[in-house]
């Protein structure tokens, strides 16, 4: 007659081993899940997200490249809706400068070994739409001119911030040629902002109060 009790310890040992392995696997899965879970309030990155400063730099270049090209289409409309000759001249000058800046951005891309490409800039799209809204909500004259200046300066300030940041990125990455080109554009944007401010203070805002 077989002794049924002789196999019991082996069965218990096997069961305990399986239980331990199961707990280990569960703990491993839990730890793995906790590592990949995005904390509440933290934006989860896209699969195409920039992994390093260079990627962010290139991505930002594509963004402002789109913005400048969009601006070359928006500025003529602003000039057409302005009445002050000083403002019209300032906008047309800015258009010429912007067209040159588009070419300069292509040189920046080339200097870092990248192909020039545009990526939709939500910020610039919003600023341009805001400018169009101001023109729709004002009558032709000094008040509309003042609104056009306000919209234009918001655009300038966005560009100043963007080019300043891009120049800093390029310097950190050791892209000296890109730094020189970006600083040149940055200085042009600052000059355009001063021109618009002078136009606002010297003539247009005063005329707007008389309407």
Domains of the chain: 53-210 (1.20.1260.10)
pLDDT for the residue numbered 59: 97
pLDDT for the residue numbered 34: 47
pLDDT for the residue numbered 80: 97
Q: What is the mean pLDDT of the chain?
A: 85
For the stretch 124-174, pLDDT in tens is 999 999 999 999 999 999 999 999 999 999 999 999 999 999 999 999 999
pLDDT for the residue numbered 201: 81
pLDDT for the residue numbered 198: 87
pLDDT for the residue numbered 200: 80
Residues in the chain predicted with pLDDT less than 50, given as ranges, are 2, 31-34
pLDDT for the residue numbered 26: 53
SS3 track for the chain: CCCHHHHHHHHHHHHHHHHHHHHHHHHHHHHHHHHHCCCCCCCCCCCCCCCCHHHHHHHHHHHHHHHHHHHHHHHHHHHHHCCCHHHHHHHHHHHHHHHHHHHHHHHHHHHCCCCCCCCCCHHHHHHHHHHHHHHHCCCCCHHHHHHHHHHHHHHHHHHHHHHHHHHHHHHHCCCHHHHHHHHHHHHHHHHHHHHHHHHHHHHHHHHHHHC
pLDDT for the residue numbered 33: 46
pLDDT for the residue numbered 67: 99
Nearest to 161 by CA among 197, 193, 128: 193
pLDDT for the residue numbered 65: 99
pLDDT for the residue numbered 38: 66
């Amino acid at each position: 007659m077989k002794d049924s009790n002789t196999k019991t310890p082996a069965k218990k040992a096997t069961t305990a081993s399986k239980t331990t392995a199961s707990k280990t696997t569960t703990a491993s899965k839990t730890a793995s899940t906790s590592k990949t879970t995005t904390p509440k309030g933290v934006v989860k990155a896209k699969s195409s997200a920039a992994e390093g400063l260079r990627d962010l730099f290139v991505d930002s270049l594509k963004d402002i490249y789109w913005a400048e090209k969009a601006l070359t289409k928006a500025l003529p409309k602003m000039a057409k809706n302005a009445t002050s000759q000083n403002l019209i001249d300032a906008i047309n000058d800015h258009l010429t400068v912007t067209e040159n800046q588009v070419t300069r951005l292509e040189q920046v891309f080339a200097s870092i070994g990248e192909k020039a490409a545009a990526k939709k800039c939500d910020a610039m799209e919003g600023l341009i739409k805001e400018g169009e809204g101001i023109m729709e909500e004002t009558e032709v004259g000094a008040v509309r001119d003042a609104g056009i200046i306000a919209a234009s300066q918001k655009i300038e300030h966005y560009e100043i911030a963007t080019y300043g940041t891009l120049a800093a990125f390029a310097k950190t990455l050791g892209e000296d040629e890109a730094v020189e080109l970006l600083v040149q554009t940055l200085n042009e944007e600052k000059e355009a902002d001063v021109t618009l401010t002078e136009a606002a203070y010297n003539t247009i805002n005063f005329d707007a109060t008389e309407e």
